Amino acid sequence: MISPKSEGSKMPTITYVEHNGTEHQIEAEVGATLMQTALDNGVPGIDGDCGGECSCATCHVMVKEDWTSTVGGPNESEEEMLDLNPERLSYSRLSCQIEITDDLDGLVVELPEFQF
């Protein structure tokens, strides 16, 4: 679902970078999750099998390192799910647990080659 851009308000722009380097710049809706925004805009590489319940880990993304403090770290249940992922990196997050805010305007996340 893509909402029309309301006049005068700038939507945060998120860049998703596929494993092969293809970039997708998306104007994201504040309050949506990073996972849902990717799915709604046809960004490949995020499955989101559990619908955002933090129980599948198929929405794994890597937050660009200069964004990690703004985005923050994983919560306890997200941490447990990430631990199951063999491709986990120190800046891995589950994108269903990241809510879009105005502060995330310009955020860049990288997508893994495969979701496990």
Chain centroid offset of residue 49 CA: 14
The least distance separating ligand FES from the CB of residue 43, rounded to whole angstroms, comes to: 14
The least distance separating ligand FES from the CB of residue 90, rounded to whole angstroms, comes to: 19
Encode 46-115 in three state secondary structure. CCCCCCCCCCCCCCEEEECHHHHHHHCCCCHHHHHHHHCCCCCCCCEEEHHHCECCHHHCCCEEECCCCC
Residue 96, interface with ligand FES (CB under 6 A)?
yes
The least distance separating ligand FES from the CB of residue 56, rounded to whole angstroms, comes to: 3
Q: Which is closer to ligand FES, CB of 58 or CB of 92?
A: 58
Residues in 13-52 at the binding interface with ligand FES, rule: CB under 6 A: 35, 48-50, 52
Other CB atoms within 10 Å distance of the CB of residue 81: 21
Q: Which residues of the chain form contacts with ligand FES (CB under 6 A)?
A: 35, 48-50, 52-59, 81, 94, 96
